[in-house]
Amino acid sequence: MNGKNRQFRMLKITAYTLQKLCGLYARDTNGRGHYRIHFENGPHVETILLSGVPPNYLDDIYNKKRQIGYAMGATENKPVRITYGNRVVCIEVPKPKHLKRPVTLYSLKKRNLLDYNPENPLLFPLGLSSHSKPIRLDFNDDSAPHVLNAGTNGSGKTNAQKLLTYMMLRIPPNEAQVILIDAKGGKDWRHFTGPLPGLMHPLITSYDDMQRLFAWLQLELLRRKDSYIDTPKIFVCIDEVKNVIDNVKNATDALVNLSSEGRGLGIRLVIATQHPTNDVLSHPYIKANAGIRLCGLVGDSKASHTILGLPKAGAESLTGKGDFLVRDLHNNLNRVAVAHIKDDDILALPRKGEVNRLPLDEMDIDTVNASGSVVKYFEPSEVSYALFYAKSVSDLRRNASIEVNEKTGKPKEINKHRASKIWAYANEIKNAVHVIDQRINRKPSISFLDPDLREVGTGRDG
């Protein structure tokens, strides 16, 4: 059966089924009837659009979804999906396997969707919609910085995650850099190795390294905040966030902090999970700051609602293997055939120079406290400077809650609030002393590089 004959047959079956089951009549040439009917041929589904359907018929259509689907060739494993918006009922029927059109990286290349655009480098193609239109994700917009990507085994969730990572690594590292976390062992991500210019660190699979990474990211947030910078964008791609939350101390607090503060500082989270439940995505900040939602096949309508934030979205009716619903920051919902990426595509990414590494070994594993704030360790010389010009040790401890570990000689943990307080206190003293030193034309009273002064407890410079 050719395309035109199949289209005519599908329209005829739809009109007849709705007439018999719901009492709805398609409009004839004289304009009599309830709705106009239109057909769209997508890569994985055939879409029948019914415009002008009276709202009082909607419940009847939803309630008879299964019967409508069977009449149109759907099955229990590949059900129809019915949605409504702007007075248009959309009936999506999965195609038989022999009629599906594969969507690959080559498909996007043929449409010039992979061409680098220096004016908008963070606009990444994802795949083709059910109307065969290209779907792109815009990461230039700070109002939609983070991504939630969910789906069951076989939904294509990891493929979608790898495709986005591939797009990020194709652009110059001064525009975007990537950190990869795989809490499932690393097998699916083994080809993202070698000296990729945009990869900031080799693939992270160890829970201890994940905690050290969160510590580094918190410090990077502070650095960017103090320096008023938000480039290059850093994309933190996490495959199976549930394992991270279950096994990494204070991971939820760190993710919440990154999702709320990272949006304006150029740090983006791309979180994937096959457990899209409120237990995993428990904190409202994580979902609230995820302006882009990708949802593959899920087990039920509750999981669909949790990840997409829209009732009756219908992700439980998807067919898997790259069949996704994508919600953008404007709450537009599209059904997308996500492009399949092959191992050879990943291996073809340009590699040069040496493998990049973050200083994770230098991160103290306890430098992220329970609230997700950074615990700042001061150098002995910095503390000695503040102590030397303080009224007394007890005064400093009382005002800034500073205590020194007698064994290590380093101050004990200081949370972000107290750290900023002691920094302000020390800087105020430093500036005042600098002015005095200039007025009396002498060398600075104390050097920040003098470690012997950390034992000085009281007194002031003469």
Phi, psi of 398, rounded to the nearest 5 degrees: -70, -40
Residue 221 lies in a domain: yes
349 plus 433 within the same structural domain: no
Residue 95 clears pLDDT 60, i.e. is over it: yes
Among 28-37, 192-201, 385-394, which stretch is predicted with the lowest mean pLDDT? Answer: 385-394
158 lies in the same domain as 303: yes
* Same domain assignment for residues 418 and 274: no
Q: Is the pLDDT of residue 57 over 70?
A: yes
Per the structure, the complete domain to which residue 420 belongs is given by 380-455
Whether 448 has a pLDDT exceeding 60, the answer reads no
Is 372 part of any domain? Answer: no
Each residue of 2-21: b (16+ CB within 10 Å) or e? eeeeebeebeebbbebbeee
- 368 within domain boundaries: no
pLDDT of residue 145: 79
Over residues 17-37, the mean pLDDT reads: 89
Kindly tell me if the per-residue pLDDT of 149 is higher than 80: yes
Residues 311 and 420 in one domain: no
Confidence of residue 206 (pLDDT cuts 50, 70, 90): very high
Tokens of 115: 């061409």
Q: Is 370 contained in some domain?
A: no
Integer Cα distance of 317 and 411 in angstroms: 57
What's the mean pLDDT in 118-125? 92
What is the share, in percent, of the chain residues with pLDDT greater than 90? 53
Q: Name the pLDDT band for 298 (thresholds 50, 70, 90).
A: very high
Lowest mean pLDDT among 162-166, 255-259, 269-273: 255-259
- Asked which of 79, 99, 119 is the last residue of a domain, the reply is 99
Instruction: Specify the number of domains making up the chain.
Output: 3
Asked if pLDDT for residue 86 goes beyond 90, the answer is no
- Residue 350 located in a structural domain: yes
Q: Is the pLDDT score of 68 beyond 80?
A: yes
Same domain, 42 and 111: no
For residue 156, pLDDT over 90 is answered with yes
User: Is the pLDDT reported for residue 431 higher than 80?
Assistant: no
CA distance 235 to 199: 10
CATH number of the domain where residue 50 is located: 3.30.980.40
Q: What are the φ and ψ backbone dihedral angles of 429, each rounded to 5 degrees?
A: -65, -45
Say if residue 395 is in the same domain as residue 298: no
Locate 258 and state its tokens: 């990154």
- Mean residue pLDDT across the chain: 82
Tell whether 126 and 256 lie within a shared domain: yes
Lowest mean pLDDT among 155-159, 329-333, 350-354: 329-333
With 70 as the cut, is the pLDDT of residue 445 above it? Answer: no
For residue range 369-406, what is the model confidence (pLDDT) as tens digits? 444 454 544 454 555 555 544 444 455 455 555 555 55
Distance CA 294, CA 324 (A): 7
As a whole number, mean pLDDT of residues 129-143 equals: 89
Q: How many CB atoms lie within 10 A of CB 92?
A: 26
Pair (120, 244) in one structural domain = yes
Average pLDDT on 437-458 reads: 40
Q: Is the model's pLDDT at 352 over the cut of 80? A: yes
Please identify, among 311, 331, 362, the residue that sits at the C-terminal boundary of a domain: 362
Residues 298 and 151 in one domain: yes
Average pLDDT over residues 215-235: 91
Same domain as 72, residue 118: no
pLDDT confidence of 28, banded at 50, 70, 90? confident
393 and 347 both lie in a single domain: no
CA dist 360 and 209 (Å) reads 7
* Residue 373 placed within a domain: no
Token representation of residue 28: 């004839």
- Note whether 122 and 184 are same-domain residues: yes
